[in-house]
């Protein structure tokens, strides 16, 4: 199975049906992408496939063959840096476990929409659960990143 992970070509000897989440975590060994529910209900496992946020727990390894996968470890570029900087400036994190997924979803949103409204944020981020309920700061950080990108 060949694909590009955070800019590097990878070939994995693994069952194509293995969820991308477990391939990234258990075979490649990149652990920033988290397991939260295994059923695309919480967003903790969000990664980008060709720039679009997807839930890696419900994406088969075979489905990313030949594609570009980006995880939290590979976040960069103008939007990625603005998002991470805003997260740090506002001290968004508490336990931090969901935040890789939150950041991947936020980068996805801001890559498509540089001036999201609160409603845009609700619809882009509602799939990402935070049991610490850091939502208020996530919202503020997305607005902060948007203003720095403007």
- Residues engaged in binding other proteins (CB under 8 A): 15, 18-19, 22, 25-27, 29-39, 41-42, 44, 71-73, 75, 84, 87-88, 91-100, 103, 121-123, 125-139
| Nearer of residues 72 and 111 to other proteins, judged by Cβ | 72
What values do phi and psi take at 13, rounded to 5?
Answer: -90, 90
Q: Is the Cβ of residue 62 or residue 127 nearer to other proteins in the bound state?
A: 127
Beta bridge partners of residue 8, listed in sequence order: 5
CB of 38 to other proteins, least distance (A): 6
Angstrom distances, CA of residue 119 to CA of 1, 18, 109, 126: 39, 35, 12, 10
Taking the complex as a whole, how short is the minimal distance between the CB of residue 81 and other proteins, in angstroms? 11
């Amino acid at each position: 199975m060949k694909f590009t992970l955070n800019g590097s070509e990878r070939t994995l000897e693994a069952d194509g049906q293995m969820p991308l989440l477990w391939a990234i975590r258990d075979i490649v060994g990149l652990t920033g992408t988290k397991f939260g529910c295994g059923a695309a209900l919480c967003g903790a496992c969000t990664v980008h496939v060709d720039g679009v946020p997807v839930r890696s727990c419900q994406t088969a390894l075979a489905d990313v063959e030949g594609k570009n996968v980006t995880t939290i470890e590979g976040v960069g570029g103008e939007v990625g840096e603005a998002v991470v900087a805003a997260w740090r400036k506002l001290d968004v994190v508490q336990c931090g476990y969901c935040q890789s997924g939150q950041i991947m979803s936020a980068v996805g949103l801001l890559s498509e929409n540089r001036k999201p409204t609160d409603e845009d944020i609700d619809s882009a981020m509602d799939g990402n659960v935070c049991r610490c309920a850091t939502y208020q700061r996530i919202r503020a950080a997305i607005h902060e990143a948007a203003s720095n990108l403007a």
